[in-house]
C-alpha cells in the first residue's frame, strides 16, 4: 500500500535537535550516564516570580476561557513596550501576534508571506526548522553558505548572488543558532538596506537577543535599517531569555496587514495561546529582570570554558561564539580517520561514535546544513559541560 502521508509532509524530517534531546533523555532514563549537549534550552528553572504569576492566573476563571487570538491585550502592550525599550523598535500593540512559541510564530509568518515557489534566502549554518518550515509553507529555501573564516556571517555580496526574481524574503538571524555568530550593527544596517533596495521582505529571528557576550552588540534590523521596516517581521519570545522553553510563548511584530493575516491563520489553527502561559510571559517582560542578568553571566562563563576546552582538543577547531548558548566546533581533521576502530567519514558518524563510546549527545552539523561541524549547547551545568568535553577528548585522543 502506498504511504498515506502527503508529499508535503513526507518531504520533511523530524527535528534533529528534538530527536537528539529525546534520545539522550531516553538513554538517561534507561540508566546510562549520557551527557546531553543537544538541547537548545536553558537548564535553569523559570524564575519564581514568573511561576507565581502563572499560579495566580490558574485560579482566575477568565484564564479558563478562550481569549483573543492574537494575544492578551496587556501582553501585546508589554511586548510593544519592551521592543521599544530594548531594541528601539517603535511598534503598536496591534502589530503584535502571540503564538505557541517562536517556532509556531515563524511558521505562521512563512505561511502568511509565501506563495508557492517564493524563494527565501537564509545563511547556513541555519537552525534545523527554518528550511522545513519554509518548504511546508510552499516556499523554496535558498541557502548561502558561511564558514569559520567569515565568522559564520553572510556578506551582502553573497546574499546578492543568491537573489533571483523569485526571491521574496531574507531570513536574518543574529545571534545565530547554531554558531553563536552576532552581526555587527553596521553589517545589519547594510543587509537591511540591501533588502529594502530590492523590495525584499526580511524575517528576523531575535530569539537570542539578550544572550550576547563580550564586546558583541545586538542590533535589531528594522531599527538600524529603518528603510526595511515596512517589510520586516520580527520574531521573538520568552523561551531562551527567561528559561521558559516549555511554556511555549513567542510572538511576531509585523506590519499590520501581515499581523492580521497571521491572526486569521492562527484563528483556524490554535485560537489563543494558553492564557496561563501568557500571564507568565507578561510577568517575565514586566517583572524584575535580575534573573536574566544572572543567567547571562552563567552562560558567558560556560561559553569561555567550552571554547577553551574544545580548542585544546587535537583535530578540533572552534570559533568564538558571541551570542546564544552554542559552540559549533569543526571536526574536519577527524573526518576520514578511524577512531576506536570505527571509520569516521562524516559528523553523523562522529555523533554516533561519541554517543556509543563517550555517552555524549551532540547535534551533527549536517542537521544545520554544515557538515564537518557539530553543535554543542553550553546551556547545562559546568560540571557536566566539563566532563562531556573531557569525554569527547578521551575518545578523539
Ligand atoms: N531552538 C532549540 C534548538 O535549536 C530548541 C529545539 C528546537 O526546537 O529545535 O535546540
The partner residues of 22 in beta bridges, in order of sequence, read: none
Q: Do residues 330 and 372 make contact, with C-beta atoms less than 8 angstroms apart?
A: yes
The partner residues of 36 in beta bridges, in order of sequence, read: 361
Residue nearest to atom 1 of ligand 1 (CA): 40
Q: Hey, what's the torsion of the CAs at 218, 147, 388, 322, to 10 degrees?
A: -20
Dist. CA 59 → ligand 1 center (Å): 31
**pLDDT on residue 178:** 98
DSSP string, 49-107: HHHHHHHHHHT-GGGGS---TT--HHHHHHHHHHHHHHH-----GGGEEEESHHHHHHH
Dist. CA 176 → ligand 1 center (Å): 12
| Ligand 1-lining residues (CB < 6 angstroms) | 15, 17-18, 39-41, 103, 127-129, 177
Residue 166 φ then ψ, to 5°: -95, 0
Q: Do residues 352 and 358 make contact, with C-beta atoms less than 8 angstroms apart?
A: no
Q: The C-alpha cell of 132 is what?
A: 522545513
Separation between Cα atoms, residue 358 and residue 360, nearest integer Å: 5
**pLDDT on residue 385:** 96
pLDDT (tens place) for every residue of the chain, 397 residues total = 788 999 889 988 888 888 888 888 888 999 999 999 988 899 999 999 999 999 999 999 999 999 999 999 999 999 999 999 999 999 999 999 999 999 999 999 999 999 999 999 999 999 999 999 999 999 999 999 999 999 999 999 999 999 999 999 999 999 999 999 999 999 999 999 999 999 999 999 999 999 999 999 999 999 999 999 999 999 999 999 999 999 999 999 999 999 999 999 999 999 999 999 999 999 999 999 999 999 999 999 999 999 999 999 999 999 999 999 999 999 999 999 999 999 999 999 999 999 999 999 999 999 999 999 999 999 999 999 999 999 999 999 8
Selection from 148, 166, 170, 174 nearest residue 158 by Cα? 170
Q: The C-alpha cell of 95 is what?
A: 502589530
Q: How many CA atoms lie within 13 A of 356 on its CB side?
A: 10
**pLDDT on residue 349:** 93
Ligand 1 atom closest to Cα of residue 103: 8
Peptide bond into 392 cis (omega under 30): no
Dist. CA 39 → ligand 1 center (Å): 7
**pLDDT on residue 39:** 81
Selection from 108, 138, 139, 102 nearest residue 122 by Cα? 139
Q: Phi/psi class of residue 384: alpha, beta or left (left: φ > 0; alpha: ψ in -120 to 50)?
A: alpha
The partner residues of 235 in beta bridges, in order of sequence, read: 205, 252
Dist. CA 2 → ligand 1 center (Å): 32
By most ligand atoms within 8 Å of CB, the mutation choice from 18, 37, 125, 243 for ligand 1 is 18
> Cβ atoms within 10 A of the Cβ of 60, count?
11
How many residues are there in the chain? 397
Dist. CA 79 → ligand 1 center (Å): 22
Q: Do residues 104 and 270 make contact, with C-beta atoms less than 8 angstroms apart?
A: yes
Rounded to the nearest 10 degrees, the angle between the axes of helix 382-396 and helix 347-358 is 110
* Buried/exposed code over 307-334 (b: 16+ C-beta within 10 A; e: otherwise): bebbeebeebbbbebbbbbbbbbbbeeb
Separation between Cα atoms, residue 219 and residue 183, nearest integer Å: 8
Q: How far is CA 370 from CA 121, 188, 364, in A?
A: 16, 23, 8
Distance of CA 371 to the CA centre of its chain: 19
Amino acid at each position: 500500500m502506498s504511504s498515506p502521508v502527503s508529499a508535503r509532509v513526507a518531504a520533511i524530517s523530524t527535528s534533529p535537535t528534538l530527536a537528539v534531546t529525546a534520545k539522550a533523555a531516553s538513554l538517561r532514563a534507561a540508566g546510562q550516564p549520557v551527557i546531553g549537549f543537544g538541547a537548545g534550552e536553558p537548564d535553569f528553572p523559570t524564575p519564581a516570580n514568573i511561576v507565581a504569576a502563572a499560579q495566580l492566573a490558574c485560579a482566575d476563571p477568565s484564564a479558563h476561557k478562550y481569549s483573543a487570538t492574537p494575544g492578551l491585550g496587556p501582553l501585546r502592550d508589554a511586548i510593544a513596550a519592551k521592543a521599544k525599550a530594548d531594541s528601539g523598535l517603535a511598534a503598536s500593540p496591534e502589530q503584535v501576534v502571540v503564538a505557541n512559541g517562536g517556532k509556531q510564530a515563524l511558521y505562521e509568518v512563512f505561511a502568511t508571506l509565501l506563495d508557492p515557489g517564493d524563494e527565501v534566502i537564509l545563511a547556513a549554518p541555519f537552525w534545523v526548522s527554518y528550511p522545513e518550515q519554509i518548504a511546508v509553507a510552499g516556499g523554496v529555501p535558498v541557502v548561502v553558505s558561511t564558514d569559520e573564516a567569515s565568522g559564520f556571517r553572510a556578506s551582502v555580496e553573497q546574499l546578492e548572488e543568491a537573489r533571483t526574481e523569485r526571491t521574496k524574503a531574507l531570513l536574518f538571524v543574529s545571534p545565530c543558532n547554531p554558531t553563536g555568530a552576532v552581526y555587527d550593527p553596521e553589517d545589519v544596517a547594510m543587509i537591511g538596506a540591501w533588502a529594502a533596495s530590492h523590495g525584499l521582505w526580511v524575517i528576523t529571528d531575535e530569539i537570542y537577543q539578550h544572550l550576547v557576550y563580550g564586546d558583541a552588540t545586538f542590533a535589531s534590523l528594522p531599527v538600524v535599517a529603518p528603510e526595511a521596516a515596512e517589510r520586516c517581521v520580527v520574531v521573538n519570545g520568552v523561551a531562551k531569555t527567561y528559561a521558559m522553553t516549555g511554556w511555549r510563548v513567542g510572538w511576531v511584530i509585523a506590519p499590520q496587514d501581515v499581523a492580521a493575516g497571521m491572526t486569521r491563520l492562527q484563528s483556524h489553527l490554535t485560537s489563543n495561546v494558553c492564557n496561563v502561559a501568557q500571564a507568565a510571559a507578561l510577568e517575565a517582560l514586566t517583572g524584575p529582570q535580575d534573573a536574566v542578568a544572572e543567567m547571562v553571566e552563567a552562560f558567558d562563563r560556560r561559553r569561555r570554558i567550552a571554547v577553551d576546552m574544545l580548542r585544546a582538543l587535537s583535530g578540533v577547531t572552534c570559533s568564538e561564539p558571541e551570542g546564544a548558548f552554542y559552540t559549533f566546533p569543526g571536526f574536519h581533521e577527524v573526518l576520514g580517520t578511524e577512531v576506536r576502530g570505527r571509520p569516521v567519514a562524516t559528523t553523523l558518524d562522529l555523533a554516533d561514535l561519541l554517543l556509543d563510546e563517550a555517552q555524549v549527545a551532540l547535534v551533527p552539523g549536517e542537521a544545520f546544513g554544515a557538515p564537518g561541524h557539530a553543535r554543542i549547547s553550553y546551556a547545562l551545568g559546568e560540571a557536566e559541560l566539563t566532563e562531556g568535553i573531557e569525554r569527547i577528548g578521551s575518545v578523539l585522543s
